[in-house]
Structure 1
Amino acid sequence: MAVITPHLEMTAMRGADPQSSFEIGSISKALTGMLYRDVSERGLVSQTTILSDLLPLEDHGDVGSVTLSSLAIHCSGLPSLPPGMHPLRRYLAFLTRGHNPYGDSLADLLEQTRNIRLGAPRPRYSNLGFQLLGHAVAEAAGSSYEQLLLEVLGTGFTTPARAEDLGRNDLEGSSRFGRPMRAWVGEAVAPAGGIRASITSMRGFLRSVLDGTARGLSALDPVAQFTPRVGIGAGWIRLKYKGRDITWHNGSTGGFSSWIGLDRDAGTGVVVLSATHGPVDRQGFRLVTEFGPGTVSPSRVAIGGPGT
């Protein structure tokens, strides 16, 4: 874990080294939100840009008409995962044999979106939405998703498409019972949950967010309500915790868990990375609020779920 305050930086590790690479799960969505805002601020997309303007979805039914802006706040009407990927079958293979439930190419993902029926445009957490958002903004920028990620947010992130792409620094994750788990890799899933990073890379990223030098920072500013007490920017969530505004996201894969959060008013931030499946939200919220007084502790708010 890493902690940054206006006066000091601290990093603690157990069983890993500064360059050990973790799956950060759905923290990937927070990074994708920043890529979207950066591409928007450069005038490459707008509030009214739709998916079929950027991806070959013209004959895929309603999905091509979805706006990027609605994807960024989980309000597009898309399901969490495309029915065409047979998510229940994959989830059972994950539970029983530890298989990677993702692994699709971008071409696979686009084929799986055929004839999806959109739901009501209300808040609904969608992995599919952020997969499409990330690849769409990369297309708008004339690059791959990983190239755009490295260009906008700096080096230190990887998005392995296959298990063979993993290197010696990539940790093997485990279940909460200690069972080794297969890596969650895949081109399609990268923008929603397929990024890997070390605690060193995440600390540097967190520092750039806190000091205002990161690109796409407007992604952290809420533009809509996700629930009555929770605001959402582009991927990033904000809520009141112990009287303080905490902007955050968590992540979970088959063998990893993660959390990032900031109190921007106090200039403090925390990253927690674990190569074991199991929530680390409590540790993250405790650490980010240890550096200042708190007065109100609202009910815990959970977003996403297994595999987010």
Structure 2
Amino acid sequence: METQWRGDTELVRAASRVFRSTGAAAVAVITPQGESTATLGTDHQATFEIGSISKPLTGMLYRDATERGLVQPTTALRDLLPLEGHGEVGSVSLGSLAIHRSGLPRLPPGMHPLRRTVDFWIRGQNPYGETLADLLDQTRTVRVGAPRPRYSNLGFQLLGHAVARGAGTTYERLLQEVLGEGFSTPARAGDLGPSDLTGFSRFGRPLPAWVGEGLAPAGGVRATIGTMRGFLRSILDGSARGLSALEPVSKFSPRVGIGAGWITLEFRGRAITWHNGSTGGFSSWIGLDRDAGVGVVVLSAVHGSVDRQGFRLLTEFTATRGGLA
């Protein structure tokens, strides 16, 4: 595999300083002066799993749907999904799901997280893979807790599929219609093509793809670096739909705000809107300094956080090309 970064010179230098990964990776930066892309061990046509960056995408679909009058923040899950006989979960509102304040657990009880983790690391099995019907069936015994901040993959899975039902379509079709055709949500391993990268553990072990219809809105989206760069551009130039999802409307913790899926915090004196992602064999990060007009996306086909690299690149390019001294 190619071990040298390739692409725009300034970004290649910056990426070479902050990355020590030996796996495939790609970075895109947008500033008021232009756009830059760099790749390592891959090309611009390769698709990466973006993990939980799927959640802010889902948040934008939700906000776009509310702005079009297709759903409301007070709309209950049972109004959109077949949840008859599923107890408390049907009464959960879309608005509470979008800010991780629904009272739902991180994962549905039927997932048996420990067993699935063992199956994944020991046997190489995909820990997800449920259809939407499977996912809904897993919610039958869910108990809804207090409406306090609690990060929930289950919540965003249900939110995305509910919003798609409200729009009269599937999640993938809604995602492509609203945010761009470059995004994909493979439901089965057989849906993957030659451009879909294989992810690796930090020790170099190839790992199975995280695919599944149920997973898509919370962590099952794939994209190329070009798709992510275009998505960043649309946010910064104001042309993206559902942009209100980036505006914090609630506290997620004392120093962290949350919009619809998007997280906001102060980093080195700057207001940063961001999210990260991690699957079995991939890591990702997206962040924007909206006041400076700078955005960064980092995609890696190796499991392990790239948050440090993302924040560092955003800080560097904000200082040098974001109009700041």
Q: Normalized against structure 1, the TM-score is what?
A: 0.94
Cα distance per residue 1:105-131 (max 9 Å; x no partner): 000000000021111110000000000
Q: Please give the alpha-carbon distance, in whole angstroms, between the structure 2 residues aligned to 1:143 and 1:197.
A: 21
Q: Please give the alpha-carbon distance, in whole angstroms, between the structure 2 residues aligned to 1:165 and 1:190.
A: 14
Q: From 258, 274, 297, give the equivalent of 1:271.
A: 297
1:160 aligned to 2:186?
yes
For 1:221, the equivalent position in structure 2 comes to 247
The answer as to whether partners of 2:101 and 2:148 remain within 8 angstroms in 1 is yes
**How many corresponding residue pairs?**
294
For 1:184, the equivalent position in structure 2 comes to 210
For 2:136, the equivalent position in structure 1 comes to 110
For 1:3, the equivalent position in structure 2 comes to 29
For 2:74, the equivalent position in structure 1 comes to 48
The residue identity in structure 2 corresponding to 1:116 is V
For 1:35, the equivalent position in structure 2 comes to 61
The alpha carbon displacement at 1:291 in A equals 2.8
Give the match's secondary structure for 1:39: helix
Q: From 121, 126, 130, give the equivalent of 2:152.
A: 126
The answer as to whether partners of 1:244 and 1:263 remain within 8 angstroms in 2 is yes
The alpha carbon displacement at 1:87 in A equals 2.1
For 1:300, the equivalent position in structure 2 comes to none
For 1:95, the equivalent position in structure 2 comes to 121
Q: Please give the alpha-carbon distance, in whole angstroms, between the structure 2 residues aligned to 1:261 and 1:58.
A: 39
Q: Normalized against structure 2, the TM-score is what?
A: 0.89
List gaps (5 residues or longer) in structure 1: 295-308
For 1:201, the equivalent position in structure 2 comes to 227
The answer as to whether partners of 1:98 and 1:254 remain within 8 angstroms in 2 is no
For 2:51, the equivalent position in structure 1 comes to 25
The Cα RMSD (Å) is 1.0
The alpha carbon displacement at 1:216 in A equals 0.2
The alpha carbon displacement at 1:60 in A equals 0.2
The residue identity in structure 2 corresponding to 1:203 is R
The residue identity in structure 2 corresponding to 1:233 is G
The residue identity in structure 2 corresponding to 1:3 is V
1:254 aligned to 2:280?
yes
The answer as to whether partners of 1:50 and 1:65 remain within 8 angstroms in 2 is yes
The alpha carbon displacement at 1:293 in A equals 4.8
The alpha carbon displacement at 1:61 in A equals 0.3
Q: Please give the alpha-carbon distance, in whole angstroms, between the structure 2 residues aligned to 1:191 and 1:93.
A: 23
After TM superposition, the structure 1 = structure 2 runs for residues 66-77 of structure 1, keeping only pairs within 5 Å, are: 66-77=92-103
Q: Please give the alpha-carbon distance, in whole angstroms, between the structure 1 residues aligned to 2:117 and 2:32.
A: 43
Q: Please give the alpha-carbon distance, in whole angstroms, between the structure 2 residues aligned to 1:255 and 1:162.
A: 16
Q: Please give the alpha-carbon distance, in whole angstroms, between the structure 2 residues aligned to 1:59 and 1:2.
A: 46
List gaps (5 residues or longer) in structure 2: 1-26, 321-325
The structure that has the greater radius of gyration is: 2
Give the match's secondary structure for 1:80: coil
Give the match's secondary structure for 2:299: strand
